[in-house]
């Protein structure tokens, strides 16, 4: 009977934690904030009504045109230029790396960092790179995202295992660094990570944070 009550209490406690996570938003994926700033770079390009090169051209955008970026899907970004909203090829959009201010609890600060990191999904992977727009590798991605918030982090995936302070995998929260053998990623909630994955995929979101053996989880924000 004692074992039965102990098991029942464990189930009740686990259920209570789950309910709290749902009510507070903990456990849900943090998504990129909509409406961040960018500009057209490399060359002039056309603003399209749909995500297709054959779609109607809404407006001709010169190099340097300021944009509001709403989202990224495949090879396209939804943007607003002046009073016109449409789609442009993502490779022509430079996303500004000025980060929002960190405020609130440690958890909320982590959400801000992870939301910011997702602005760069779809951008290229570049071995040895640290540029969030033109190319970065896995550790360069993490280092550069946190640099935008004023943090100075180590450069390699192995050295990042000692950055900040360690937390258990079960206590991970958005913004935490997930360290693997030869790779690092950022946890964004909902069991998902954002990372500079490979030359083929670039910066992307993966649906399983423990898709590889996790060696360490490091929390940077305080």
pTM: 0.86
96 labelled catalytic: no
Shared domain check, 152 and 63: no
The total domain count for the chain is 2
Can you give the CATH number for the domain in which 52 is found?
Answer: 2.30.30.40
Q: Of residues 96, 108, 138, 179, which has the active-site annotation?
A: 138
Residue 195 lies in a domain: yes
Can you give the CATH number for the domain in which 124 is found?
Answer: 3.90.1720.10
- The whole domain housing 90 covers 36-95
Residue 122: left if φ>0, alpha if ψ -120 to 50, beta else—which one? left
How many other C-beta atoms are found inside a 10 Å radius of the C-beta of residue 40? 21
Q: Of residues 96, 108, 179, 183, which has the active-site annotation?
A: 183
The number of residues making up the chain comes to 222
Q: What are the pLDDT digits (tens) for 201-214?
A: 999 999 999 999 99
| Stretches in the chain below the pLDDT threshold 70 | 1-26
Residue 42 lies in a domain: yes
Residue 8 lies in a domain: no
d(CA 197, CA 47): 29
138 labelled catalytic: yes
Which pLDDT score is estimated for 174?
98
Shared domain check, 117 and 58: no
Phi, psi at residue 141, to the nearest 5°? -65, -50
Q: What are the pLDDT digits (tens) for 85-132?
A: 999 999 999 999 999 999 999 999 999 999 999 999 999 999 999 999
Shared domain check, 167 and 211: yes
Shared domain check, 140 and 64: no
d(CA 36, CA 99): 10
Which pLDDT score is estimated for 176?
98
Which pLDDT score is estimated for 6?
52
């Amino acid at each position: 009977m004692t074992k039965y009550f102990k098991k029942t209490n464990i189930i009740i406690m686990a259920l209570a934690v789950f309910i709290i996570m749902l009510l507070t938003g903990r456990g849900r994926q943090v998504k990129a904030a909509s409406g961040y700033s960018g500009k057209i770079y490399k060359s002039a390009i056309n603003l399209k009504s749909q995500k297709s090169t054959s779609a109607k051209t809404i407006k001709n955008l010169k190099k340097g045109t300021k944009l509001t970026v709403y989202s990224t899907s495949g090879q396209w970004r939804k943007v607003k230029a002046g009073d016109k909203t449409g789609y442009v090829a993502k490779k022509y959009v430079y996303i500004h790396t000025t980060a929002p201010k960190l405020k609130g609890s440690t958890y909320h600060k982590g959400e801000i960092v992870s939301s910011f990191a997702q602005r760069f999904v779809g951008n290229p992977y570049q071995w040895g790179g640290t540029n969030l727009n033109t190319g970065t590798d896995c550790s360069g991605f993490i280092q550069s995202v946190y640099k935008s918030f004023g943090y100075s982090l180590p450069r390699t995936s192995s050295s990042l295992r000692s950055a900040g302070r360690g937390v258990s995998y079960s206590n991970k929260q958005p913004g935490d660094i997930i360290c693997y053998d030869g790779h690092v990623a950022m946890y964004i909630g909902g069991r998902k990570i954002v990372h500079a994955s490979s030359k083929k995929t670039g910066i992307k979101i993966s649906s399983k944070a423990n898709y590889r053996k996790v060696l360490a989880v490091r929390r940077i924000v305080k």
